[in-house]
Homo-oligomer: A and B are copies of this chain.
C-alpha cells in the first residue's frame, strides 16, 4: 500500500517543472493552484509554503526560468551574441505556454542577472554599446519566437476540448524557420557592427 504523503518532498524546482508542464500542455489559463497541487499529489495550499507570494510568485518564477539564459564567454562578440540568441530562442520555444509571460514581464532575479552578464560579456569582447546591443538582440529573439509560435498554431482551441498539444517538431524548428532566424540574426549583427 502506497504512502499517502508524496514520496519526494515538494520543492521550488518540482513546482516550477510541473507548472511549466501544465502551461505548455493545457495553456496558461488552465494553470491553476489547485491543478498544480493535483499534479504534485499535494493540496494546492502546500505550494504557498515554497512560493510565499503565491500565484504571482509562480508567474515570475516561470518567466525567469525561460528567460535566464547563459552561454560561455569565449570568441568574438559576434560569436557570443549569436550563441546567446540561439540559446534564448531555444529556451523560449521549449515552453510556448509561458511565452506571454516571458515577453511581457520585466526581467527580475536570475533573468535580470543573466541580462547583465551577457551585456558584460559583449562589452568585454569589445562591443562599444553592449547595453543597446543586448536590447536589440532581445527584441530580435522575442519577435522571431512570437511569430514562430503563433504560426505553429499553439494557443489555439487544441482541437475540440482541451486535448493536449504536440510540439511543432522534435529537437528544433522547421528548417525554414531556422534559416530565417539565422539570416535575420546575421543581418542584425552586421548592423550592430556598423554602429
Q: Which residues of A contact B (CB under 8 A)?
A: 99-101, 103-107, 132, 135-136, 138-144, 146-147, 149-151, 153, 155-156, 180, 184, 187-188, 191
How many chain copies?
2
Given contacts A140-B143, A143-B141, A147-B138, contact A156 B106 (CB under 8 A): yes
Give the residue of B136, B142, B153, B187 whose beta carbon is less than 8 angstroms from that of A146: B142
Most buried by B among A104, A136, A151, A156: A104
Determine which of B106, B141, B143 lies in contact with A151 in the assembled complex, contact meaning CB atoms within 8 Å: B106
* A155:B106 contact, CB within 8 angstroms: yes
CB proximity of A88 to chain B, nearest CB, Å: 12
Q: Are the C-beta atoms of A150 and B99 separated by less than 8 Å?
A: no
Interface pairs (10), CB distance under 8 Å: A99-B104, A100-B104, A103-B103, A105-B155, A106-B156, A132-B180, A136-B180, A136-B184, A139-B143, A139-B147
**A100-B100, A156-B106, A184-B136 given; A142·B147 CB < 8 A:** yes
Closest chain-B Cβ to A14's Cβ sits at a distance in Å of 25
> What residues of B have a CB within 8 angstroms of the CB of A150 in the complex?
103-107
Closest 8 pairs between A and B when the two form their complex, measured CB to CB: A143-B143, A139-B143, A100-B100, A142-B143, A187-B191, A139-B147, A100-B104, A103-B146
Q: Is A184 within 8 A of B180, CB to CB?
A: no
A141 — which chain B residues lie within 8 A by C-beta?
A: 143
Question: Is A144's CB under 8 angstroms from B155's CB?
Answer: no
Chain B residue at minimum C-beta to C-beta distance from A140: B143
A106 partner residues in chain B, CB cutoff 8 A: 150-151, 153, 155-156
What chain B residues lie within 8 Å of A143 (beta carbons)? 138-144, 146
* Residues of chain B lying within 8 A (CB to CB) of residue A140: 139-140, 143
